[in-house]
Chains A and B, each alone.
Chain A
Amino acid sequence: DAKTTQPPSMDCAEGRAANLPCNHSTISGNEYVYWYRQIHSQGPQYIIHGLKNNETNEMASLIITEDRKSSTLILPHATLRDTAVYYCIVRVAAGAGSYQLTFGKGTKLSVIP
């Protein structure tokens, strides 16, 4: 799987958009970008994934650059409950290696009242 780089921590004011960057400059053409988050003392939670098009669901939006070397997870209106560690993971979608999630250190997002 391609290595990802994320800032170790970020702050965001409550109600504002939280933009979490991820660098994956060695990503391959068949690798997807996944985002998970882990709220304190809970198991990780899937947020969103994408290949090359921007994606949006009820939790967040994922913006992937045209060259696919970086992406940004956007929480449009951050709440205190969004305080968590956010993990950006790159992996193939099928075949050998498609099962595993390799978690890095992630970005600790603190939403401030």
Chain B
Amino acid sequence: DARVTQTPRHKVTEMGQEVTMRCQPILGHNTVFWYRQTMMQGLELLAYFRNRAPLDDSGMPKDRFSAEMPDATLATLKIQPSEPRDSAVYFCASGHRQGIGNEQFFGPGTRLTVL
């Protein structure tokens, strides 16, 4: 059963530290998404990639966040420096463009706490 995997599942860090979250999309999927979920804002799209190229990162704070896909099996989301307001659950999702469905398959999320 193919799944999106994310590491770490939980991360507690101090303000100012660098945080890197990793995602392994489902093999064969060419679109990868990063979402952030908080109680106040709900689920927000931060960025997405197609064929490893960034298509839209307008939802991401540019000064401290960066997203990359070093290869087709790995997507990373980095926060440097982290701030308490970045505390949230970060979800990665993958999909492929073939077909009308365009379903997105979500990973289990990384719960980030910045103290």
Interface of A is mostly: loop
The reply to whether A105 and B42 form a contact with Cβ atoms under 8 Å apart is yes
Of A42-50, A59-67, A70-78, the one with at least 4 CB within 8 A of chain B? A42-50
Chain B interface residue count: which class? 20 to 34
The answer, among B31, B43, B101, for a CB contact under 8 Å with A44, is: B43
| A42, closest chain B residue (CB) | B108
Determine if B43 and A93 form an interchain contact, defined as CB atoms under 8 angstroms apart.
no
Cross-interface CB contact of B100 among A44, A93, A100, cutoff 8 Å: A93
Q: Which of A98, A100, A101, A105 has the most CB of B within 10 A?
A: A101
Residues A46 and B105 in contact, CB atoms below 8 Å apart: yes
A104 at the interface (CB under 8 A from B): yes
- Tell me, rounded to whole Å, the shortest Cβ–Cβ distance linking A97 to chain B: 10
Interfacial residues, chain A to chain B (CB-CB below 8 A): 32, 38, 41-46, 49, 93-94, 98-105
What are 15 sample pairs from A and B whose C-beta atoms fall under 8 A apart? Answer: A38-B43, A42-B109, A43-B93, A43-B107, A43-B109, A44-B104, A45-B106, A49-B100, A93-B102, A99-B55, A100-B48, A100-B56, A101-B45, A101-B104, A103-B42
